[in-house]
Amino acid sequence: MEAFATAATALGDAWGLILQPVVLGYLILGVVMGLAVGVFPGLGGIAGLSLLLPFMFGMDPILGLALMIGMVAVVPTSDTFASVLLGIPGSSASQATVLDGFPMAKNGQAARALSAAFASSLFGGLVGATFLTLFILVARPIVLAFGLPEMLMVTVLGLSMVAILAGRIALKGLAAAALGIMIGTIGEADGGGSLRMATYDIPYLTDGLKLVIVGLGIFAVPEIVALLRRDRSIAKGAKLGAGWMDGARDWFANKWLSVRCSIIGVVIGVIPGLGGSVVDWIAYGHAVQTTKDKSMFGKGEVRGVVGPESSNNAKEGGGLVPTLLFGIPGSGSMAIFIGAVALLGSGDIEVGPGMLKGNLDITYSIVWLLALANVVGTALCIAASGGIARLTTIRFTYLAPFLFMLISFAAFQSGQNFEDLLALFAIGLIGIFLRRFDWSRPAFLIGFVLSNPVETFTNQAFQIASFRFRKSFEEGIEYIFSPIVIVLIVITIVSVFLGVRQAKAIAPEGEVESGSKRAPLIFLLAIAAYLLFAVVNANAIPDYNLTDKIVPLVVGGFALVCCALLLVRMIRRPEGDVIFADKEVAGEDADARYGLWSTLAWFAGLIAATWLVGFIIALVGFLITFFRVRAGATWLQTIVLSAGGIGLMMVMAGALNRDFPPGLLQAAVDLPWPLK
């Protein structure tokens, strides 16, 4: 009772701290900054908090926390704009929203999708804040109960969503997920340091590929290219759509789904290291599993928006649990948050158990700030939606160069290497062909996201389990099959069983008509060739580094079996069968006004020019040429639009203190910023 009385007193003190005009002003400022960051694809909360770090030193603790929490809370809400309106994941936590939010925008229901998303985000954020309040009292034993076997099973549960998102041909979805895992293993292994699919002659690959690049390449590049080839607005018939109240009613009609997905978000957020990269996929899978009529998923099902958007906001509250209780970052943004808190005031505030003992009022202030930030953020997003949503009514040719510009800038920030742009282009090509031949891109991305956790948790759990088995068989079994692990195994088995039965009703790539045998067969053989090379490469790792080779060997072998079975089915099936899906021949891309390679050449030209003269100079030439030649704009329109794009880039880079990709010119001549 004494603990609850202390907590009640701290809750009251927290309200006194935050209900000050200056604190609320800093909270609103943080929300506005988070809204600006979240609107731009690929930046997310990590970039936003990095922007704030220089200002945290010596700042009044409650003011600094208000600024940071305002930004952290609204990014998962504002990143919905890019996901719904442009088909580009605003961040790793909004990837699943693309699957149904973007088709709704293309059907003229952008307003309805955004409204449902914001209502879900608000509810999820409030659920996260509520659970954070309770977890501060009771979550310590729950968090401590999750060891390596439990975290491995949560990762496997995330992988089980592949069964749902595999699409009409389950073997394609499984092979796509395995391909994602294999690409995720490129680089230096965490365990023994072996190099896989990389050499020290190419330092870039030793660190592996970054999630920002893969997410943008798999989703953003294919959609930008496809829309640019058709040369019309995103929304068919150039309609914004009404539906603001319809979206709110959609959320209310699916309120229990929102409740369940919010709880999923909180639970996943509590587990350090998983966070936003997986939570929206688990929530999306749950939305599919609990829907009777699954025919609209992938084509504009509003439940596919409500589920992920509820979970990705709720996970922010969950992510603060290990951060505040133990000083363990629940995500990348929380890692920056911990560092920023240490800079506040005189530096005597430190997250962890000490904060709960000595600064419980500050701790609860964070909870209330999180709740208020979600309310303010949702209100601002709704107020800005009318103007932003009209992007769907603009001829896409006028938007495409800005999107190429933004995703190139975002990709470069992931590693500050020119090779980031080459990797973006290469992964974009993979995404284009996955989309064309109806191989599930969500399954691929799930595999990539979870490749590192699967390998890390498997290796560590195996080593500890081996030690315990040497002590006694019973102790080893008890370690591996804890009650939490058993519950998660049951949930995973049920998820896979239901997913396999339901996968044929899901269209993660939309409706795809069948074409001839040749192109799908060549793509399958190209995928199989890469997988075979990767398996041979992994097998060459010495046996004393078994932990570095076991995952790529097992996953690669499984993927090759899937490809072999697909090959047999393709040989035996006649042309026109569903297995030969091809958007280029008989689907939505068949009537495109421009060819694939001529369209890709514009993006390739921007990258090549960047290699020669640096990003800003290349961008000037790219924008002017594109607007004049491809868009057919007048000289006045070309100059105004190009100047606007260059100005936006300079403002973003200056505010975030980021550099642009340099070229050979910058290596030879010392130029001033922003040309350097």
378 pLDDT higher than 50: yes
Mean pLDDT, to the nearest integer, of 93-98? 74
- Phi/psi at 581 (nearest 5 deg)? -55, 135
Instruction: List C-alpha distances in Å: 84 to 108, 122, 139, 298.
Output: 11, 17, 35, 13
SS (H, E, C) 266-335: HHHHHCCCCCHHHHHHHHHHHHHHCCCCCCCCCCCCCHHHHHHHHHHHHHHHHHHHHHHHHCCCCCHHHH
- pLDDT value at position 253? 87
- pLDDT value at position 604? 92
- pLDDT value at position 479? 63
Q: Give the integer Cα–Cα distance in Å for 379 and 370.
A: 14
Three-point CA angle 34, 40, 45, nearest 5°: 40
Instruction: List C-alpha distances in Å: 641 to 454, 627, 674.
Output: 46, 8, 19
177-226 pLDDT, tens digit each: 889 889 988 887 776 677 777 666 677 888 888 877 887 788 778 878 88
Confidence band of 532 (pLDDT split at 50, 70, 90) = very high
Residues near 651 by Cβ (< 8 Å), separated by ≥ 6?
A: none
Mean pLDDT, to the nearest integer, of 35-53? 62
Q: Which secondary-structure segment (H or E) carries 602?
A: helix 596-613
Choose between 18 and 621: higher pLDDT.
621
Choose between 314 and 338: higher pLDDT.
314
Query: Minimum mean pLDDT among 111-120, 155-164, 178-187: which range?
Result: 155-164
Mean pLDDT, to the nearest integer, of 367-384? 79
- pLDDT value at position 624? 93
Mean pLDDT, the chain, integer: 77
Query: Minimum mean pLDDT among 14-23, 301-310, 383-392: which range?
Result: 383-392
**Chain length of the chain:** 676
230 pLDDT higher than 90: no
409-430 pLDDT, tens digit each: 878 877 788 888 999 999 999 9
Q: Which two tokens stand for residue 383?
A: 């107020």
Q: Give the integer Cα–Cα distance in Å for 359 and 428.
A: 48
Q: Give the integer Cα–Cα distance in Å for 415 and 31.
A: 27
Q: Which two tokens stand for residue 622?
A: 């790219």
- pLDDT value at position 605? 92
Whole-model pTM over 0.85: no
Three-point CA angle 345, 273, 46, nearest 5°: 50
Share of the chain above pLDDT 70, in %: 72
- Phi/psi at 395 (nearest 5 deg)? -55, 125
> Which of the residue ranges 55-59, 235-239, 383-387, 554-558 has the most confident prediction, judged by mean pLDDT?
554-558
Q: Give the integer Cα–Cα distance in Å for 561 and 165.
A: 20
Query: Minimum mean pLDDT among 36-50, 75-89, 184-198: which range?
Result: 36-50
140 pLDDT higher than 70: no
Helix (H, G, I), strand (E, B) or coil at 86: coil
Mean pLDDT, to the nearest integer, of 234-239? 52
Mean pLDDT, to the nearest integer, of 301-321? 80
236 pLDDT higher than 60: no
Three-point CA angle 80, 85, 88, nearest 5°: 70
Q: Which two tokens stand for residue 273?
A: 């290291």
